[in-house]
Amino acid sequence: MSHSNRERGILRYRWWTRLNHWTVAISFVLLVLSGLALFHPFFWSLTGLFGGPIMTRAWHPFIGVFMTLFFVLLAIPLFKDSLIKRYDIQWLKQINDVLSNRDERLPPVGKNNAGQKLVYWIMLGCVPILLVTGIIIWRPYFAEGMPIWLLRFSVMVHAYTAFLAIITLVIHIYSGIWVKGSIRAMVQGRVSKAWAKHHHSLWYDEVMKERKQQPAAKDDSSARPQ
């Protein structure tokens, strides 16, 4: 059992991380669609997806709370591998090499590269801000007791933060499609050894070292998946 799993490559994301990720992804897209419909008449037709304008308005904040809960579950196991290291700064300085596919010039990176870490930190910043400002302006439950200046301020911050989160999401999806094998990693959980070595060689070395130290370890206990 352990042997056959190992031959299938390296486990990158455990099933609950994948489930949390896709739950967040789907709810986030629903939030963007319903949020845009409420934001500007240009997107008004999107209210049709949610059963009309009243339902769109009613659903949006509940989906937001739901998404936040799953985002927290997603963010906890990813925390350690998202801390910025020295080689991440170097990687960012060489962003031109990243965008031109000159991978061989890049410094070796760990489980996540600096771009992925930035996605993590930006979303970790945006989600609580969206939650707090969203609750403040949530009628009929909370908004009634709030001073008008706070409501105005919160609506504005909510919109700007959503804008940043949407841009980040677009870049995130684009990178996921661009780096072949990433989507499979988040769907099936596994990557090939060649993929790990090419894109995240420090992580690959670490996994291989641990495997050598525990040759009889069952399944993926030595692969340090999230």
**Encoding tokens for residue 51?**
């059963």
- Per DSSP, the three-state class of 82 is helix
Q: What residues does 1 pair with on adjacent strands? A: none
| Least Å from the CB of residue 101 to ligand HEM | 16
- Per DSSP, the three-state class of 174 is helix
Nearest-angstrom CA–CA distance, 170 and 189: 22
Residues 120-179 touching ligand HEM, rule: CB under 6 A, are 120, 123, 169, 172-173, 176
Give the active site residue among 21, 60, 158, 172.
172
- 């070796």: which residue's tokens? 108
CA gyration radius, the chain: 21
Binding to ligand HEM by residue 186, rule CB under 6 A?
yes
Report the residue number, 37 or 123, with the smaller CB distance to ligand HEM: 123
For residue 137, give every residue at least 6 positions away whose Cβ sits within 8 Å of its Cβ, in sequence order, or none. 143, 146, 151, 154, 155, 158
Q: Which of 9, 10, 20, 24 binds ligand HEM (CB under 6 A)?
A: 24
The residue range among 54-62, 116-124, 145-153, 155-163 that interacts with ligand HEM, by the rule CB under 6 A, is 116-124
Is 172 one of the annotated active-site residues of the chain?
A: yes
Q: Which of 56, 116, 133, 161 binds ligand HEM (CB under 6 A)?
A: 116
Report the residue number, 24 or 136, with the smaller CB distance to ligand HEM: 24
The residue range among 23-31, 45-53, 86-94, 206-214 that interacts with ligand HEM, by the rule CB under 6 A, is 23-31
Nearest-angstrom CA–CA distance, 218 and 69: 32
Report the residue number, 37 or 109, with the smaller CB distance to ligand HEM: 109
What residue type is 173 in one-letter code?
I
| Least Å from the CB of residue 7 to ligand HEM | 20
Report the residue number, 29 or 49, with the smaller CB distance to ligand HEM: 29
Residue environment code for 39-68, b if the CB has 16+ CB neighbours within 10 A, otherwise e: beeeeeebbeebeeeeebeebbbebbebbb
CB of 196 closer than 8 Å to CB of 220: no
Q: Mark residues 55-74: x for contact with ligand HEM by CB under 6 A, - for none.
A: ----------------x---
- 């919109």: which residue's tokens? 159
Residues 95-114 touching ligand HEM, rule: CB under 6 A, are 112
Report the residue number, 137 or 169, with the smaller CB distance to ligand HEM: 169
The residue range among 22-30, 45-53, 136-144, 205-213 that interacts with ligand HEM, by the rule CB under 6 A, is 22-30
So which residues are the catalytic ones? 172
